[in-house]
A and B are shown apart, each in its own frame.
Chain A
């Protein structure tokens, strides 16, 4: 099956710093989503981005489908950005819209 790798696995930032999270995937995809998992476990949808670039406030994401990677940018980080960021994809040959998740990037933003 498709492999999804996220880097870095852990990241510690000082409040106000910028960061880039990466997601590599091993095959063509129909769907790519970025999620933030808060300390209570809730998965919050950040972006649905199978290709192209999107921005939402301090967050933006870019997916280069032909090169099989996606990047999540966090600017001017805040302590509330702490948590785990997941990338998840639906492979092109998948009829059931089933997401395959990466291992996540654990982000801690210090005040």
Chain B
């Protein structure tokens, strides 16, 4: 099946710990994105990557880091520098140009204890 997978579905972490969220796609899409959603809100862009080994900051990149070593994978690390990391994280992908549809994974719910 073609699609976007995210793991884990739920994640708990203690304050001060870094944690990495996984995002994989088999749609052969060039571009991948990470969004954050807080309760009752819309989504906000954290990072995006249009091509392997390149990525750009979005609107709320502080406290997060990413890598893009493979076309299929775009992991997000939530660092201890992120002041309020508890949120729902969604990964998306597209063929890359402004005129193409984005598709989303099922998301990861991160809770900081």
Contact = CB atoms under 8 A, between A and B. Distances in A.
Contacts, number: 71
Contact of A42 (B48, B104, B109): B104
A97 B56 CA distance: 12
Interface residues of B, number: 29
Contacts of B88: 41
Interface of A: 4, 30-31, 33, 35, 40-43, 45, 48, 50, 86, 88, 90, 92, 94-104
B112 interface: no
Interface in B37-60: 37, 41-45, 48, 50, 56, 58
Contacts of A96: 31, 48, 50, 56, 98
Among A30, A40, A99, chain B packs the most CB atoms within 10 A around the CB of: A99
